Amino acid sequence: MRNFIVQLRSIVAFAKREYIIWTSYKINIVTWILDVFINSTLFFMMSLLMGKNTAIFPYGNNYVSFVVLGLSAYYISYTNLGDPYDRVARIYWNGTMDLYLLSPLSLVTPVIGIMYRSVLDDYPRVLLAFLFGTLFFGAVFRFLQPFTILLIVILLGVSTFGIGMISASSFFLLNLKVGTEPVKFIFQDIIIALAAGYFYPISVLPYSLQLVSSILPHTYALDALRRLMIPGGNLNVPVLPLQKVWHISPVLSDVIVLACMSVLFIFLGFYLYAVGVEKARRNGTLTRWQ
């Protein structure tokens, strides 16, 4: 119990420190607010091009709402998936990896703690996307089954963090200390970017890509969130490959898949990271100091 409290207090200490660093980049704060506004504006303009009330079956007929949810998933994923590797790299290159290992902290606590800066950068953008969307661009939402919505958001966060830890494990497991990290690149920059359906329904994709999207937690999270939160969203008609095979409510199937992915990716991520650290201890590649 005491150890758990030490981990929690340390995460708070990291968070405070990262907050101080984050606030020192004042221009960045302005540009990130503007980024959200600009992205929302772009898709609002495209919704004008499409015309009002263009159906996006089975997700209602409000393209701006559709994209706001996509952007929200993007911001959460960008931090949770993309950040762990960068944070491990930062800890390694600034020489503090050894100091954290010689402390009561678990292997993962410093990574989570330092991610706080990105959490500050990206999570509030979710709220901003909703705010700009509803205030300026005509996005409309409903909140059917609010606890389910909350659960889906949490599971999306957890599952993407698990993939992020798998990515981070390559730093030691594959000794990838410079250049592009392959897990993050393949997942985030290729597969998720193309097939997660941030800005279009995955039915637009060739069938082969739709199958690929079946391995992404984003696919299920966005499907469920869009059905539940966009007025006119259909709760019954299956559209994803797995939903067509599995004859249960699409939203329920999404939640089940997300839960399984969360457990699997988190376990795999933590396990591979620990294995990577042990391997690095053997090889002498754990710390930068020679």
Partner 1 sequence: MNIVNLRGITKKFGRELALNKVDIAVRNGEIFTVLGKNGAGKTTLIKIICTLLLPDAGNGSVLGYDLMRESEKIRANVSLVAPTVDVGVDPTLTVEENLLFWAVVYGLTDEEARKRVKETLEILGLFEVRNRWAMEISAGMRQKLGIGRAILVRHPLLLLDEPTVKLDVESKFSLRRFIRDIRNEFGTTILLTTHYFDEAEELSDRVMILDKGKVLVVDSIENLKKRISATEKIEIHAKTDSARAKRILSMFSRYGAFYEDAVFRFTVPLFSDAMNEILNEFVLEGVEILEVSSKSPSLEETFLTITGSSR
Partner 2 sequence: MKNVKMILSFMKLKFRASLLYPAGFITDIIREYVNVAIWLFVALFVQNASVSVRSIINNYVGYMLVGVIVFQNADKLMKAPFNALSKAFWEKRLEVYDTSNFGVFALVIGDFIYTFIFNGLIQISILLVVWPLIKAPAIGEWKILSVLLLYGLFIVSIFGISLIGASTFFFLEVKQGREPVSWSVSTLVRLFSGVYYPLALFPIYMRWIGKIFPHYYMIFAMRSITGLSCKVNLVNVGIILLLFAVVLLPFGIFIFKKAITFAEKRSGMSALV
Do the Cβ atoms of 93 and 199 come closer than 8 Å?
Answer: no
CB atoms inside a 10 Å sphere around CB 278: 14
State yes or no: residue 237 binds partner 2 (CB under 8 A). Answer: no
282 is in the binding site of which of partner 2, partner 1, none (Cβ under 5 to 8 A by kind)?
partner 1
State yes or no: residue 49 binds partner 2 (CB under 8 A). Answer: yes
Do the Cβ atoms of 120 and 18 come closer than 8 Å?
Answer: yes
180 is in the binding site of which of partner 2, partner 1, none (Cβ under 5 to 8 A by kind)?
partner 2
What's the gap between Cα 127 and its chain centre? 15
Do the Cβ atoms of 42 and 136 come closer than 8 Å?
Answer: no
CA atoms of 173 and 168, how far apart (whole Å): 9
Specify the stretch interacting with partner 1 by CB under 8 A; choose among 11-19, 59-67, 197-205, 240-248.
11-19
State yes or no: residue 38 binds partner 1 (CB under 8 A). Answer: no
CA atoms of 243 and 47, how far apart (whole Å): 28
Q: State the alpha helices, DSSP H only, in 24-178.
A: 26-50, 63-93, 97-101, 109-136, 146-173
174 is in the binding site of which of partner 1, partner 2, none (Cβ under 5 to 8 A by kind)?
none
CA atoms of 155 and 150, how far apart (whole Å): 9
Q: How many residues bind partner 1 (CB under 8 A)?
A: 29
State yes or no: residue 99 binds partner 1 (CB under 8 A). Answer: yes
Judged by CB under 8 A, the residue of 48, 215, 248, 275 near partner 2 is 48
231: amino acid identity, one letter: P
State yes or no: residue 34 binds partner 2 (CB under 8 A). Answer: yes
The residues that bridge with 59 in the sheet, in sequence order, are 233
Q: How many residues bind partner 2 (CB under 8 A)?
A: 29
Judged by CB under 8 A, the residue of 8, 21, 99, 190 near partner 2 is 190
What's the gap between Cα 35 and its chain centre? 18
Q: Three-state DSSP class for 145?
A: coil
Q: And the tokens for 261? A: 């992915």
State yes or no: residue 290 binds partner 1 (CB under 8 A). Answer: yes
* Of residues 177 and 288, the one with the C-beta less far from partner 2: 177
State yes or no: residue 118 binds partner 1 (CB under 8 A). Answer: no
State yes or no: residue 204 binds partner 1 (CB under 8 A). Answer: no
Nearest to 84 by CA among 72, 95, 94, 92: 92
Judged by CB under 8 A, the residue of 33, 101, 259, 274 near partner 1 is 101
Judged by CB under 8 A, the residue of 94, 103, 175, 180 near partner 2 is 180
Q: And the tokens for 134? A: 């509803």
Q: Which residues bind partner 2 (CB under 8 A)?
A: 27-28, 31, 34, 38, 41-42, 45-46, 48-51, 54-56, 178-180, 185, 189-190, 193-194, 199-201, 204-205
Q: Which residues bind partner 1 (CB under 8 A)?
A: 2, 6, 9-10, 12-13, 17, 20-21, 24, 94-96, 98-105, 281-284, 286-287, 289-290
